[in-house]
C-alpha cells in the first residue's frame, strides 16, 4: 500500500491510499476556500453521565447535491471537489464540517471508491482490503493525537439513515471522550472479570458459536452472528476468532479473510427484502478499545452492522420507549433474523 498525504486549499489534510505505487497524486486543490473554522462544543450531562456535542456550523454542510456536483467524486476540469486528483482508489480527508475538531478530537471522511454509483458491497476483495488498510492506518495515526480517547470507523448508508451525500463513503471519529456505549461495555466486562475471572466478550462469542441458531457466517478467522439480545430488526456482529483490542492488532491471516466475509454480509443485507426493496439502509462500525482503558486487552474488537428497515416497506423508528427511555422493543426475533440472513447467502 502507498500512502500520500497532502493539504487542501483551506489547510485540511487529505490522504490517498493506493494499492500500487505508481499513481500521480500531485494535483493541487484550486478552490478559493477560506481557512476552516469549527465552533464545536462538548457539554456533560451529569444525570446520564454522558457527553453531548454541539456543532452549529454543520447546519451549512452540503445537502443532497446532484451527482454532477458531488464533492466526493474526483475533480474533473473546472468541476473541483474535495479530491483534487482526477481519480483515486481510497481517499481520506478532514471533514469540512466536523462534529468536533481542533483540541476536541478529529472527524475524517473516508471515500471507499471514486465510482459515484457504487456501494461498499460492489467493491472487489482487493478494494475492500485497501479500505481496511486505511481504517487501520487512520486508527494508528489518530491514536497519536493529543486528546483523542477512542476511534470509531463507520459508514452510514442510505437516505433513510440520514445520509446527505450519495457517494460511497464513511467517516472516522477520533472522540475526545469515551462514548456511552463503550463505557457501558467496558464496565460490564470489568465487572464480569471481577466476579468470575473470565472475559465476557469471549464467553458471549463462544456461547453463540455453541448455540448456532444465531450464527450467520463463519470462516476460520471470523464469526458473524445476530446477538441474543439484538436491539435492531436485523443486526449482525462480526468478531475475529482471536480477541484483539483494535484494528492494528489483526494479523495477516485475519486481514486477508476479512474482505470476503464482510462483503458477503453486506450483500446479504441487500438481499434481505427482495430485489424490489432497493439497497438496504444500514449503519456499520468498528468498536475498538479506548486508548486509556485500564486493560485494553480485555476489549474485543468487533464490527456491528444493523438496518432500520424491518420489512420491505417499513422502517424501525425510535419512538417513545426507545427514544424517551432507551428501552428497545424489536419487531423481529434474533433467531428469525439470523435464519433470513442465512437464506440469502451467496450461492
Which residues carry out catalysis? 169
The residue among 149, 178, 25, 160 whose CA lies nearest residue 87 is 25
Cβ partners under 8 Å of residue 288, min gap 6: 139, 150, 151, 152, 245, 246, 247, 299, 301
67 contacts 114 by C-beta, under 8 angstroms: no
- Give me the half-sphere count of Cα atoms (radius 13 Å) on the Cβ side of residue 31: 20
Cβ partners under 8 Å of residue 71, min gap 6: 62, 65, 81, 82, 165
The C-alpha cell at 6 is: 497532502
161 contacts 303 by C-beta, under 8 angstroms: no
The C-alpha cell at 325 is: 427511555
Is 111 within any annotated ligand binding site? no
Cα separation, 87 vs 83, whole angstroms: 8
3-state secondary structure of 184: helix
Helix 252-271 with 125-142: angle, nearest 10 deg:
120
> How many angstroms separate the Cα of 346 from the Cα of each of 263, 272, 278?
10, 12, 18
Q: Phi/psi at 248 (nearest 5 deg)?
A: -65, -20
93 contacts 101 by C-beta, under 8 angstroms: no
The radius of gyration of the chain's CA atoms, rounded to the nearest angstrom, is: 20
Is 64 within any annotated ligand binding site? no
The residue among 195, 212, 141 whose CA lies nearest residue 172 is 141
The residue among 182, 239, 185 whose CA lies nearest residue 208 is 239
The C-alpha cell at 31 is: 478552490
85 contacts 27 by C-beta, under 8 angstroms: yes
74 contacts 83 by C-beta, under 8 angstroms: yes
Residue stretches of the annotated binding site for Zn(2+): 70, 73, 116, 167
Pick out the residues of the known binding site. Answer: 70, 73, 116, 167
Amino acid at each position: 500500500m502507498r500512502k500520500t498525504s497532502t493539504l487542501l486549499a483551506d489547510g485540511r489534510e487529505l490522504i490517498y491510499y493506493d494499492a500500487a505505487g505508481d499513481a500521480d497524486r500531485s494535483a493541487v486543490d484550486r478552490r478559493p476556500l477560506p481557512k476552516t473554522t469549527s465552533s464545536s462544543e462538548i457539554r456533560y450531562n451529569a444525570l446520564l453521565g454522558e457527553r453531548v456535542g454541539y456543532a452549529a456550523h454543520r447546519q451549512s454542510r452540503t445537502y443532497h447535491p446532484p451527482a454532477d456536483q458531488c464533492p466526493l467524486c474526483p475533480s474533473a476540469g473546472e468541476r473541483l471537489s474535495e479530491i483534487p486528483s482526477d481519480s483515486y482508489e481510497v481517499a481520506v480527508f478532514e471533514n469540512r464540517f466536523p462534529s468536533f475538531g481542533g483540541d476536541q478530537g478529529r472527524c475524517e471522511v473516508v471515500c471507499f471508491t471514486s465510482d459515484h454509483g457504487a456501494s461498499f458491497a460492489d467493491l472487489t476483495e482487493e478494494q475492500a482490503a485497501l479500505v481496511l488498510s486505511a481504517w487501520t492506518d487512520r486508527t494508528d495515526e489518530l491514536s497519536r493525537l493529543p486528546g483523542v480517547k477512542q476511534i470509531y470507523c463507520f459508514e452510514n448508508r442510505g437516505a433513510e439513515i440520514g445520509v446527505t451525500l450519495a457517494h460511497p463513503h464513511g467517516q472516522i471519529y477520533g472522540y475526545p471522550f469515551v462514548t456511552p456505549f463503550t463505557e457501558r461495555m467496558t464496565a460490564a466486562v470489568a465487572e464480569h472479570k471481577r466476579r468470575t475471572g473470565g472475559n465476557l466478550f469471549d464467553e458471549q462469542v463462544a456461547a453463540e458459536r455453541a448455540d448456532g441458531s444465531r450464527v450467520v457466517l463463519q470462516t476460520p478467522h471470523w464469526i458473524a452472528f445476530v446477538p441474543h439480545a439484538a436491539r435492531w430488526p436485523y443486526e449482525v456482529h462480526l468478531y475475529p476468532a482471536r480477541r484483539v483490542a483494535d484494528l492494528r492488532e489483526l494479523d495477516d491471516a485475519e486481514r486477508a479473510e476479512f474482505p470476503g466475509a464482510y462483503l458477503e454480509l453486506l450483500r446479504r443485507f441487500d438481499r434481505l427484502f427482495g430485489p424490489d426493496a432497493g439497497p438496504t439502509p444500514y449503519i456499520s462500525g468498528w468498536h475498538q478499545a479506548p486508548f486509556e482503558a485500564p486493560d485494553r486487552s480485555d476489549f474485543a474488537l468487533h464490527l456491528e452492522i444493523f438496518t432500520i428497515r424491518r420489512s420491505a416497506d417499513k422502517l424501525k423508528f425510535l419512538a417513545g420507549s426507545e427514544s424517551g427511555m432507551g428501552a428497545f422493543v424489536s419487531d423481529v426475533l434474533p433467531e428469525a433474523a439470523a435464519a433470513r440472513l442465512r437464506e440469502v447467502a451467496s450461492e
